Amino acid sequence: QVQPAESGGGLVQAGGSLRLSCATSERTFSLYAMGWFRQAPGKEREFVAGISAGGFNPLYKDAVKGRFTISRDNAKNMVYLQMNSLKPEDTAVYYCARSRYTSPSDRSSDFSSWGQGTQVTVSS
């Protein structure tokens, strides 16, 4: 399996925005749902957002609904996470992952290929 590669993390003030990108060269990219997870220091990895293979039915963690938007471009093998109104509690390493299925879920066990992660730090 080809490992996804995240980019776009950085340091931003509370209330600011960042756009994370995830690239993969996997030829079957358009057949699988994709997701974003995050892990803060001392905490377990948690689901943030997911999107179906066709780019529909986005799924979000309650804490990011209305602030984060997941999207994908199957022609470019890219997945994005637009993050607005960022809060200090959004600080974490963000991971892109490819699902085993066409529909998104919030279970990490449903994802088979993970990126190395990109750091997002939100200052207060």
Give the tens place of pLDDT for each residue, 69-108: 999 999 999 999 999 999 999 999 999 999 999 999 999 9
Burial class (CB in 10 A: 0-12, 13-18, 19+), 67: middle
pLDDT tens, position by position, 24-79 = 998 999 999 999 999 999 999 999 999 999 999 899 999 999 999 999 999 999 99
Q: What is each CA distance from 89 to 10, 23, 78, 82, 94, in whole angstroms? A: 15, 26, 26, 16, 13
The half-sphere exposure of 63 on its side-chain side, counting CA atoms within 13 A, is 11
Tracing tokens 């803060």 back to the chain, one arrives at: 40
